[in-house]
Amino acid sequence: MRSPTQPVSIIKKVLRKKGFYFFRNSVPRGFDTFSDLRKARLLGLVKTFIDVGANRGEYAELALEYLANLEHVILIEPEQANFEYLVRHFGDKAQVVNCAISNRSGDGILGLSSSDKMHALLPMATNCELHAEMHQSVRVRTLKEIVCEFYLPSPFFIKTDTEGHDIKVIEGLADLFEGTLGIVVEGAFRRGDNITFFQDVYDLLTDRGMLFWGIYDQSPWGEMGSCNVVNGMFLNPNYLRT
């Protein structure tokens, strides 16, 4: 996820050493995912955090910091170099799984990018023999398979950033939406390659009963600096306390 939260986290750590702190109750909705979960009294409920497309684990670091009652952390990363980094960096703090996630399992091909944040799963019928150096064979699984294999307890909090494959990632939850407290997904307000169209995410998740909660980490990657790429958070109303 192309998230600015990592530099923000560094800035917070520097300020804390100088004796400065954010007064988090004054932060408006949409500024920080975990602040909004805290305000909704949800931080302590999450038992399993699943990071689909974990990259180098920046978002997972935040989840480990703020989700106080986590029992399981699952980091899913298909690209080999990123996977090996996650294993070294997180050690026994997380279970790292080397696969891609979709709405069905099988063998797939990961399209490699010059940026380690932009690798993307190709359609599963794609043949890439002519450009093998730009691709990597990967195992493809569903989120439901992962949850069942590791006996993961609910509620789940899921982050997905798969460069345009997020709809199929979410579809792979199958009948596990009831146990999903929240989902953070990257999307764009304009259709484009290797990016999930936000309206499609909104329609899919609200049709399954999730509430759209806020827009986070806005990136001005649109025309003339307009807001285009964002992270959207959706919450399960069954976990909200009245």
Domain parsing of the chain, residue ranges: 29-239
**So what's the pLDDT on residue 130?**
41
What is the dihedral sign for C-alpha 59, 61, 63, 66?
Answer: negative
CATH no. of 29-239: 3.40.50.150
Whole-angstrom Cα distance, residue 85 to residue 91? 10
pTM of the model: 0.82
CA dist 130 → 117, 119, 137 (Å):
24, 18, 14
Phi then psi for residue 234, to 5 deg, are -125, 135
Q: What digits encode the pLDDT tens for the residues 60-75?
A: 999 999 999 999 999 9
Mean pLDDT for the stretch of residues 156-162:
95
When the pLDDT of each residue in the chain is averaged and rounded to a whole number, the result is: 85
Cβ contact 170:204 at 8 Å: yes
**So what's the pLDDT on residue 1?**
47
Whole-angstrom Cα distance, residue 165 to residue 231? 14
Phi then psi for residue 78, to 5 deg, are -80, -30
pLDDT band at 179 (very low <50, low <70, confident <90, very high): very high
Contacts of 236 (CB under 8 A, 6+ apart): 155, 177, 178, 180, 181, 182, 209, 210, 211
Lowest mean pLDDT among 24-28, 50-54, 212-216: 24-28
